[in-house]
Amino acid sequence: MTELINKLVAEAGLSNEQAAKTIDVIKGFVSEKFPMLAGAVENVLGASAAPAAPAKEEGSLLDKISDFIPGEMGEKIEGFAKQAADKAGDLLDKGKSTFNDLENKL
């Protein structure tokens, strides 16, 4: 969990609290929409996303999903999660750019 929070802080520019809340929201959404994955989501993301101090990076959490969920299903979920993370990063970049453009116009 700490690793994912650190990644969100570093790559998305979120605070620890924002990153933790983001993870909680995503965890709740995935668990609600895909109840059969709720246990796996809980295993991967933990009980609660408490803000944490930065720790050294030991590889991406997204790369470890298939370790918790064996077989093809784990690989598919891992791929989906990586694509979602990439799209979220792109969306955040676009939002920052739009915000900066609006700020410059004011």
Q: What is the pLDDT of residue 33?
A: 87
Residue 60 in this model has a pLDDT that exceeds 50: yes
- Please say whether the beta carbons of 30 and 45 come within 8 A: no
Range of weakest confidence among 11-15, 29-33, 58-62: 58-62
Domain coverage including residue 65? 2-105
Contacts of 87 (CB under 8 A, 6+ apart): none
The share of the chain scoring above pLDDT 90, in percent, equals 0
Query: Is the pLDDT at 11 greater than 70, yes or no?
Result: yes
Count how many domains the chain has.
1
Q: Answer whether residue 27 shows pLDDT above 50.
A: yes
pLDDT attached to residue 47:
59
C-alpha dist (Å) from residue 58 to 3, 7, 23, 92, 98: 8, 11, 19, 24, 33
Looking at residue 52, its pLDDT comes to 47
> Residue 59: what pLDDT?
56
Q: Flag whether pLDDT at 54 surpasses 80.
A: no
CA nearest 46: which of 20, 67, 71, 70? 20
Give 61's contacts (C-beta < 8 A, 6+ positions apart). 1, 3, 4, 7, 44
DSSP 72: H
Q: What is the mean pLDDT of residues 32-51?
A: 73
